[in-house]
Amino acid sequence: MNIEDKIKLIVDALEDIKARDIAVLDTGKLTSLFERMVIASGESNRQTKALAAHVREKVKEAGEHVGGMEGEDTGDWVLLDLGDVVVHVMQPATRTHYNLEELWGAGEAARARHIQKDH
């Protein structure tokens, strides 16, 4: 599966459970650890955990690499390692505090692409 197909799969899985403010950052020129970072918000710790678990399930069903998942015990910030993509699902206050888009978006190669779905 190429990176764009994988991103589409991840974003679709996040949208299935009503994630908010989904952003995809191209981090390939900033680090060799992963190609993309996906950041999304959930409204509660229960929703953030459900979002991360759903993404993990969909990626696994597609036969792609699924690494570790951290933060599911509290649900304030759940990180999912999918090899060439790292997914952060955060509650809004946590996301604002850590501001990963600005931290990782400092370089031109990491322009964020916010995904908004018309409902």
pLDDT on residue 115 = 53
pLDDT on residue 103 = 73
Q: What is the DSSP letter of 114?
A: E
Pick the residue with more confidence: 30 or 2?
Answer: 2
**For range 6-20, the mean pLDDT:** 96
Q: Which two tokens stand for residue 81?
A: 């390692």
pLDDT in tens, 101-118: 877 775 443 344 555 454
User: pTM for the complete prediction?
Assistant: 0.84
Long-range CB contacts (< 8 A, 24+ apart) of 102-106? 104/25, 104/27, 104/30, 104/37, 105/25
pLDDT in tens, 14-65: 999 999 999 999 887 777 788 899 999 999 999 999 999 999 999 999 999 8
Cβ partners under 8 Å of residue 23, min gap 6 = 38, 39, 40, 101, 112, 113, 114, 115
Domains and CATH numbers, the chain: 3-111 (3.30.460.10)
Token look-up 């191209």 returns 26
Q: Which two tokens stand for residue 68?
A: 């570790």
**For range 94-105, the mean pLDDT:** 84
